[in-house]
Chains A and B, each alone.
Chain A
């Protein structure tokens, strides 16, 4: 899949020290992805090489250049002209190709995640016009053929494309993104979607869910009333800082390491490709840790609050089983979810309850034996709605059953899996919703993690 920029030549001007004097947006995007400043030294390695050559030779250099940015391979034709004050770059024939097309399993997981969200279903064609809408209330229902951007407000901000727009451009999935409504003034959606490909190659369009938010978050009001300027301002400060300081560089490390391990830029010695895979795995582990730390920081704040919504623990259990079904199948583990007609109404925040369930079931899959079963059951227990996650693992000794909820507690395990924060965060979240998590287990008999939330009367 390859697409060319429709616009004309892209230009940049550098001073004699290789610092950017002026540059068009695509160059600045590459510069940012390479960790450079808009007016700093040009750090895009492939372009910097051409610039240095032109400076050294004092001659016009015209070469094909291949760069990479956020899972996209960018091919361009570069003319670099050296002069007394620096080098001028004239770039044409800019072509972007998605190189990190996830495998079938990855695509399936992305689809599962996107479709596990609440709301009405939608589907677009490759031009992002709606071709199918299901279960949408009349007031929200977009006309077939309507453009995606007329229904969901995706205008770019001063700092760059909105994250949904960026995901669409790169044919990535997105989950639970806050976007303004283009049809209902002052309202916002939680939007999830995943791209569809024919034979893993040809882009067919997007498919996903849109849930109209009951109440617009206070500081979102300006965003949906006016232009959706910088939705990231809704995130807690620490998350924003982590995004900039850790997530973005880690994302680049993972993407580049995957490029190396997949030998997408050309052939490599097998052991080098193996190192790339190791780096990518370590990067993903660090990324999970960063996510956990961001959650930790949020829940440890004194004013941490969760929403009080009507949730159905049986539905959450079924969604969790769907999300982790493939991961469990890798270890021949079967997840038995509540029957489709079963319900267990409770009060809590849907997103947080789902996060807890995914953590509990994820642990059961991660540490459970191969060829085993994980049962998800719901029940009414003394006025509380409960979700029970029962596995056939080694069980947890009574003396460890409280310790396991402590920060960074891994019960002596020395493997690199997990941060030791998941259960701590889950219990804090459960308690913030007026519930709790308990364990019922004995060594050799498996474990039962019981999530309880206030029952809805």
Chain B
């Protein structure tokens, strides 16, 4: 049976042996094109720029936190000698420091922030009786606004990654600190590494992924429940709350919010939004709004496709739609293993 692992966050990059290898700083766009494989979706320029902005912002955010945390352990002058934003600059040179799954997460959040910007902001989505999530909803809106904020590329942004990705990014940044500090011989190398490890653990120990938009959206979704979501799907779409809609779909279909969001952004735009919105019974109108918004990051969506949506939606049963989403319910590692197998197991 052929598998379409189009919504696996572990999708391997297309083979591109020259990209990202030995390129100078001026070729950073080419470096990062490694993460936008030609065989996959065609992304808009806005999408590439927004993704870079998110990676740079979060990387600089972690770098700043690490500088502060290292202050008691290292001479201030040594830390000051490290140029601000040096980690991001290093990542531009060596994008392989980021794994595919972390990069996929950044693409997803960049896309969701672009989609939110496209939506026409309208009336407040919640009526009286649903006020118990108002505070969470406001928090989510603020967090999402940060994702869309205009800033210099390497200006630190609040790091609000899911736990797995936070851990990965932090250790990638720590590795960069180790690489820069080792030649300075401020500490014996073993002590330096131990210090970085300890400080890294401490930072992870105080990190709380619940403050991030994905966790917050999941929390709102389960508090509201599927019925309220169905009633408010159009309003939410009009307000650009596509992350929240993804959380609602995840709650209705017993899936993970992050995987639904990934599928919406990375899946076939002519099928995946239809499956997702039909599976949760959110209606063709909300689905059409999602497709319109997706055009901000996917170039291949034409009006004619969106025009056919109501018929396609009516022709698809909820059970069929849920059946199409089966892969999203599988363990990501299992999906990745199957995918590797399908691609020849690296032979």
Contact = CB atoms under 8 A, between A and B. Distances in A.
A66 interface: yes
B325 A62 contact: no
A425 B274 CA distance: 58
A266 B253 contact: yes
Given A267-B323, A267-B325, A267-B326, A62 B205 contact: no
Contacts of B207: 59-60
Contacts, number: 63
Interface stretch (B62-70, B163-171, B264-272, B336-344): B163-171
Interface residues of A, number: 22
B222 interface: yes
Contacts of A77: 219, 222
B209 A61 contact: yes
Interface of A is mostly: strand
A93 interface: yes
A147 interface: no
Contacts of B322: 266-267
A48 to B, nearest CB: 14
A268 B255 CA distance: 13
A202 to B, nearest CB: 13
A62 B255 contact: no
B76 interface: no
Interface in B3-41: none
Query: Which range contains the number of B residues in contact with the other chain?
Result: 20 to 34
B201 interface: yes
Q: Which of B167, B207, B254 has the most CB of A within 10 A?
A: B254
Nearest to A4: B223
A75 B226 CA distance: 13
B225 interface: yes
Nearest to A76: B222
A395 B87 CA distance: 88
A265 interface: yes
B218 A57 contact: no
A149 interface: no
A269 interface: yes
B222 A64 contact: yes
A167 interface: no
A220 B106 CA distance: 66
10 contacts: A2-B225, A58-B167, A59-B205, A60-B210, A64-B222, A66-B254, A77-B219, A266-B253, A266-B329, A269-B323
Q: Closest 7 interchain pairs by CB? A: A62-B210, A267-B322, A59-B204, A266-B254, A57-B167, A59-B163, A267-B323
Given A59-B204, A59-B207, A266-B255, 7 more contacts: A57-B163, A57-B167, A59-B166, A62-B208, A75-B222, A93-B222, A93-B223
